[in-house]
Amino acid sequence: MSKGGKIAAVVLTAALAVATASQAAPRKPHTVVLGAGKRVPYSKAGDPAGAAATEDALKIRALMVDGVLKEWTTGDAHDVTDRSFVVRRVIRLNDSLPGDKLGHWVWQRGPWVLVDRVTGHAAPLKLPDYDPGVSQVSWFRDYGAYCGVTASGKSLYAVVAQVAARKAVLAKKLSAFDPESHPDPACAPPEWQREPLRITFHPTVKDAVSYDIVPGSAVLVEDSGDEAETPAQPAAETKAK
């Protein structure tokens, strides 16, 4: 073998060894924790979509990934699997008017996020017809049930969404909706039943209504990457008598 051929062979062998070592090296684990709660000033004026009339403080917790602040959150977290959980984000919004010399910031309840403890990735959930001021999400497995408001703002719907599914598992109209005259809250938190799998909604303006959910496999795919696949929606629903 020529001298040049020997050098090329050595370089190729070294490259293969480096590639093999990098593939075999264990992935560095991430540390994902929710910090201690603290209260921040909060008001209806600061968050007209999400604050109760008498609410003057909001309890928040830091979502920390590897010791670094990732998000601010509020409320209870829900474990979807042994490595993923959902929690509601809270946003600090700049409320200063043009010309204000002193900065004015307000806290607002934001969307729900899905957090992966292995990758440390936090992704916002796209919940159909979700309204921050109306929707109180009740979680079970990878399902979230809540009263939603259509894009027109004129209809109140019973909604069951499945994490990572493109379409709602359940979407049934409950009543017409007028934010100016509708009672607040529009719905009490929905209630889950395991066997048979059933969800009961409690709209303020009408009697409770229940739906049986035909359970399907979880569509949340967890892998080593940051992006989850989204298989086709497998579940259906029927109204309970």
Q: What is the pLDDT of residues 220-233, one digit of tens each?
A: 767 655 444 344 44
Domain ranges of the chain: 27-125, 127-241
3-state secondary structure the chain: CCHHHHHHHHHHHHHHHHHHHHHHCCCCCCCEEECCCEEEECCCCCCCCCCCCCCCEEEEEEEEECCEEEEEEEEEEEECCCCEEEEEEEEEEECCCCCCCCCCEEEEEEEEEEEECCCCCEEECCCCCCCCCCCCCEEECCEEEEEEECCCCCEEEEEEEECCCCCCCEEEEEEECCCCCCCCCCEEEEEEECCCCEEEEEECCCCCEEEEEECCCCCCCCCCCCCCCCCCCCCEEEECC
pTM, entire model? 0.76
pLDDT of residue 155: 95
Average of per-residue pLDDT across 65-89: 95
Highest mean pLDDT among 14-23, 123-132, 223-232: 123-132
Sorting pLDDT into bands at 50, 70 and 90, what band is 193?
very high
- pLDDT at residue 138 greater than cutoff 70: yes
Average of per-residue pLDDT across 13-21: 52
* Average pLDDT for the chain: 82
